[in-house]
Structure 1
Amino acid sequence: MSKDRRRTEPHIAGLRAALFGRFRSWLGEVLGVELEPTVDISCAKYEYTDVLLCHDDELEGRRVAFILYLVPPWQSSDGGTLDLYTTDSNFQPQSIVKSLIPSLNTLVLFEVSPVSFHQVSEVLTQDKCRLSLSGWFHGPSLERPRRHIEPPVPRSPHLPRDETLLLEWVNPVYLDISYQEQIQEEFEDSSEIQLKDFLKEEKFMEVREALRLTQIQWTRRGPPNKRCYEAASLDTLPQCVSACWELLRSEAFFLLLSNFTGLRLHYLCPADDDNDSKDEEKEDVLDGKAMGSSTESPSANTSREKEPSTPVCCGELRRWSHGDYTLLHDAEAARAEYALDLVLPFCGADWQSEFGGFTCYVANEEDEELLTVYPEDNSLALVYRDKETLKFVKHVNHKSSSGSANSFYDFSFVYYE
Structure 2
Amino acid sequence: QQIWNKPSLTLESDLELDCQPFPHCIFRNFISSQAFAENLKKELLELNFHEKSNDLYKLKQSDDLKKRTEPHIAGLRAALFGRFRSWLGEVLGVELEPTVDISCAKYEYTDVLLCHDDELEGRRVAFILYLVPPWQSSDGGTLDLYTTDSNLQPQSIVKPLVPSWNTLVLFEVSPVSFHQVSEVLSQDKCRLSLSGWFHGPSLERPPRHTVAPVQRNPHLPRDETVLLEWINPIYLDISYQEQIQENFEDSSEIQLKGFLKEEKFKEVSEALRLSQIEWKKRGPPNKRRYEAAALDSLPQCVSACWELLHSEAFFLLLSNFTGLRLHYLCPADDEENGDEEKDKKQQDDGEATGSTPLCCGEVRRWSHGGYTLLHDGEAARAEYALDLVLPFGCAGWQSEFGGFTCYVANEEDEEVSAD
2:321 maps to 1:260:
yes
Equivalents in 1 of 2:134, 2:276: separation in Å? 43
2:419 maps to 1:365:
no
In the alignment, which residue of structure 2 is the partner of 1:150? Answer: 211
Contact residue 214 and residue 238 of structure 1 kept, 8 A: no
2:209 maps to 1:209:
no
Letter in 2 for 1:217: E
Change (3 A) 1:27 1:190: same
Equivalents in 1 of 2:63, 2:204: separation in Å? 28
Letter in 2 for 1:121: S
Equivalents in 1 of 2:334, 2:212: separation in Å? 36
Contact residue 216 and residue 232 of structure 1 kept, 8 A: yes
In the alignment, which residue of structure 1 is the partner of 2:392? Answer: 346
Letter in 2 for 1:259: N
SS at match of 2:114: strand
In the alignment, which residue of structure 2 is the partner of 1:96? Answer: 157
Contact residue 64 and residue 101 of structure 2 kept, 8 A: no
In the alignment, which residue of structure 2 is the partner of 1:406? Answer: none
Equivalents in 2 of 1:198, 1:110: separation in Å? 51
Letter in 1 for 2:385: A
Contact residue 258 and residue 269 of structure 1 kept, 8 A: yes
Equivalents in 1 of 2:195, 2:64: separation in Å? 15
2:198 maps to 1:137:
yes
Alignment of 1:208-357 (within 5 A): 208-276=269-337, 309-357=355-403
- Unaligned stretches of 5+ in structure 2? 1-61, 340-352, 415-419
2:238 maps to 1:177:
yes
Letter in 2 for 1:69: Y
Change (3 A) 1:324 1:3: closer
In the alignment, which residue of structure 2 is the partner of 1:163? Answer: 224
SS at match of 2:362: strand
Q: For residues 120-158 of structure 1, what are the alpha-carbon distances to aligned partners after superposition, in whole Å with 9 as ceiling and x for unaligned? A: 001111110111000000000011010001100011110
In the alignment, which residue of structure 2 is the partner of 1:285? Answer: none
Equivalents in 1 of 2:413, 2:321: separation in Å? 30
Letter in 2 for 1:55: H
1:74 CA drift (Å): 0.3
2:187 maps to 1:126:
yes
Equivalents in 2 of 1:52, 1:219: separation in Å? 24
Letter in 2 for 1:78: D
Change (3 A) 1:76 1:277: farther
Equivalents in 1 of 2:63, 2:263: separation in Å? 61
SS at match of 2:272: helix
Q: For residues 265-305 of structure 1, what are the alpha-carbon distances to aligned partners after superposition, in whole Å with 9 as ceiling and x for unaligned? A: 11220023211399xxxxxxxxxxxxxxxxxxxxxxxxxxx
Q: TM-score, normalised by structure 1?
A: 0.79
- Unaligned stretches of 5+ in structure 1? 279-306, 369-417
Range with greater deviation from structure 2 (52-61 or 343-352): 343-352
2:261 maps to 1:200:
yes
Alignment of 1:46-65 (within 5 A): 46-65=107-126
Equivalents in 2 of 1:212, 1:78: separation in Å? 31
1:4 CA drift (Å): 2.6
Equivalents in 1 of 2:390, 2:239: separation in Å? 23
Report the structure, 1 or 2, having the larger strand content. 1
Equivalents in 2 of 1:35, 1:107: separation in Å? 18
1:331 CA drift (Å): 1.1
SS at match of 1:343: coil
SS at match of 1:186: helix
In the alignment, which residue of structure 2 is the partner of 1:282? Answer: none
Range with greater deviation from structure 2 (160-169 or 268-277): 268-277
Contact residue 41 and residue 135 of structure 1 kept, 8 A: yes
Letter in 1 for 2:303: S
Q: For residues 87-137 of structure 1, what are the alpha-carbon distances to aligned partners after superposition, in whole Å with 9 as ceiling and x for unaligned? A: 001000000110100000000000000000000001111110111000000
Letter in 2 for 1:35: L
Larger radius of gyration: 2
Equivalents in 2 of 1:232, 1:220: separation in Å? 9
SS at match of 2:102: strand
Q: TM-score, normalised by structure 2?
A: 0.79
Equivalents in 2 of 1:347, 1:367: separation in Å? 34
The structure 1 residue matched to 2:79, chosen from 6, 11, 18, is: 18
In the alignment, which residue of structure 1 is the partner of 2:101? Answer: 40
Equivalents in 2 of 1:310, 1:266: separation in Å? 5
Letter in 2 for 1:112: V
Change (3 A) 1:166 1:214: farther
Change (3 A) 1:254 1:142: same
In the alignment, which residue of structure 2 is the partner of 1:84? Answer: 145
Change (3 A) 1:265 1:3: closer
